[in-house]
Amino acid sequence: MLGICVGARNCPAVTTEDRVWLRKTLTDGRAKLPEGSRSYTFGAVAAAQLDVTWPLPPFHAKDLALSTLSLLYWIASQDSLATALGLQATQQALAPEILNRALTAINTCDDLADAALIVYATQDVIDHAIQSRIDETWHTPVNSADAIRLVHHLCDRFALIANALKRRHKNRPTIQIKDEYDVQDLLGALLQLHFDDVRPEEWTPSYAGNASRIDVLLKAEKIAVEAKMTRKGLGQKEVVTQLAEDILRYQAHPNCKTLICFVYDPTAKCSNPTALESDLTSSHGALNVVVLVRPKNR
């Protein structure tokens, strides 16, 4: 039926009368197939070729056969077809169930078309998962969520990197993390590995009559990174005060949607780093604020 409908749509020899008859057949046939079945889904795709409304019913992925899930996965890749059929599920939503079913369950398939759909869907899900992981960890992040995770990861590893730099071959000179400027320099260099446009010290709008500078601005991702380093006289209370002022400044910056505040605390001046993070990590107006105190494990 699908092949006939594709031909009827595109073959110039098919008359208008033929198409009218076929549309009526499709309309009547909808009631003869069980909703949610493989045949019904194929019928919906066939009907869409001749602009016959044959919407897909709501479904639970776990209740469908792997071949039907794979067919829905293919439909979701065709925007116009998915819209015509009223398919709400995206490929991303279907992918976990397809992958789980294909790799962990015993599946039997004696239909060549079903087998082809299963192979297509499974391979595509795996390819997307691999590519997404590569994009997240090896290349410039593909979206702001990836970028935030990547900066978070660098901050998590910062103490290890700083300690590793202390141990150079034959005691050669190295960077020593003594103050905030050292933290900014090293963090900025690490960000250069993953981001194309890393801008140090961008001016923020004036707050309380004073202008200030951003330590690092990732302009394309609209992320600002503010680095602090605790020391004598700059413990948790003082850091909270400084960060609160920084948040107010960054709320007015046109190129900043997310502010990541990295507090490097090598000598444990913060008495309760978890509370510091929890109190300030939230949405402040239109500004998303993430506070990271590292290292946390004493």
With 0-12 / 13-18 / 19 or more C-beta atoms within 10 angstroms meaning exposed / middle / buried, residue 262 is buried
Residues 35-44 have a mean pLDDT of 84
Residue range 180-186: mean pLDDT, rounded: 93
- Which of 107-111, 163-167, 195-199, 206-210 is least confident? 206-210
Residue 49 has pLDDT above 80, yes or no: yes
Structural tokens at position 107:
């599946």
The beta strand positions in the chain, using DSSP E, are 198-207, 210-218, 223-229, 258-264, 282-284, 287-294
pLDDT in tens, 57-99: 888 888 888 988 999 999 999 888 888 888 888 999 999 999 9
Residue position matching structure tokens 């200030």: 212
Task: Please report which confidence band the pLDDT of residue 224 belongs to, taking 50, 70 and 90 as the band edges.
Answer: very high
Dihedral sign computed on CA atoms, order 142, 289, 265, 249: positive
Domains in the chain, CATH or no CATH each: 2-135 (no CATH), 144-294 (3.40.1350)
Looking at residue 275, what is its pLDDT? 94
pLDDT of 129 reads 86
CA angle 162, 165, 167 (to 5 degrees): 125
Arithmetic mean of pLDDT, 197-211: 65
CB 86 within 8 A of CB 51: no
Kindly tell me if the per-residue pLDDT of 211 is higher than 60: no
Q: Amino acid letter at 89?
A: A
Average pLDDT over residues 9-23: 90
Confidence (pLDDT) at 37: 81
Rounded CA gap, 82 and 130, in Å?
25
Average pLDDT over residues 213-236: 91
Neighbours of 174 (CB within 10 A): 10
- Is the Cβ–Cβ distance between 280 and 289 less than 8 Å? yes
Can you list the alpha helix ranges (DSSP code H) found in 30-104?
38-49, 66-76, 79-85, 91-104
Whether the per-residue pLDDT at 289 is higher than 70: the answer is: yes
Backbone angles phi, psi at 257, to 5 degrees: -105, -25
More confident site: 230 or 143: 230
Segment 279-289 mean pLDDT: 94
Mean pLDDT of 11-38: 88
pLDDT score for 268: 94
Q: Note the pLDDT of residue 201.
A: 65
pLDDT at 207 over 70: no
**Whether the Cβ atoms of residue 207 and residue 248 lie closer than 8 Å to each other:** yes
Q: How far is CA 186 from CA 5, 129, 157, 165, in A?
A: 63, 31, 12, 10
Q: Percent of the chain at pLDDT above 90?
A: 45
Q: Whole-number mean pLDDT of the chain?
A: 87
pLDDT given at position 297? 65
In this model, does residue 212 exceed pLDDT 80?
Answer: no
Kindly indicate the confidence band of residue 272, based on its pLDDT and cuts at 50, 70 and 90.
very high
